[in-house]
Amino acid sequence: MFSIIQAAGWPIWPLIVCSILALALVIERFISLKTAKVAPPRLLDEALAVSRAAVPSPDVVQQLEQNSALGQVLASGFRALTSDPRCSEMDLRAHMEHTGRQVAHRLERYLSALATIASAAPLLGLLGTVIGMIEIFGSQTPTGGAPGGNPAQLAHGISVALYNTAFGLIVAIPSLIFWRYFRVRVDEYLLTLELSAERFARHLNALRIQ
């Protein structure tokens, strides 16, 4: 592996840094975007059940808030109704939407960085290719000299060009795939949060009228 890095020359190092960053971001997103941490399937039904007659106690609300991203959105509705039992449905929705925007921002965190790596890696590989081509042309002798130039410099230039092109694609392709995967996953979560918040807001409004 070290011999490949040596053959690829210094342009390979930015690509190595990008590959390490991309791997770290992918692992972090896999951990953070687990269903249990974002939108547990039965959480909405449980929140509706415990508030069938009245707003639950602050301890229950706090436990709900710490449960998941969806729990934070639902808990914000409880808190709005607790702070002002006569608040309008519009105020309830505004409180939940505000929390929902914060949750959405957290779900989308680092996706732009992963997309940037997917876009930049081929360009960095192209930069290495250009540098390799410069070395290839630099190995040629001036007009009138012996043909073939410097074989060692020629071989090194070819190695720099090919290794950087390949490594740039090796970094970019998985980064792009994982970015698309996480983008779709986040969009699905956001839709789930929106539909759950809509249903919960209607429930709280009915609870407020009682």
CA gap 64, 46 in Å, rounded? 10
- Token readout for 123 is 């360009």
More confident residue, 161 or 141: 161
- Token readout for 22 is 């991309």
- What's the alpha-carbon Rg for the chain, to the nearest Å? 28
State the alpha helices, DSSP H only, in 42-150: 43-50, 58-67, 69-83, 89-107, 111-138
pLDDT class for 144, splitting at 50, 70, 90?
A: very low
pLDDT for the residue 136 = 76
Q: What is the pLDDT of residues 168-191, one digit of tens each?
A: 999 999 999 999 999 999 999 999
Q: Is the pLDDT of residue 146 over 50?
A: no
Residue partners of 204: CB distance under 8 A and separation at least 6: 51, 77, 78, 80, 81, 92
pTM of whole model > 0.85? no
**CA 111 vs CA 127, 148, 149, 194: distances in Å:** 24, 48, 47, 20
pLDDT for the residue 32 = 94
Q: Is the pLDDT of residue 81 over 90?
A: no
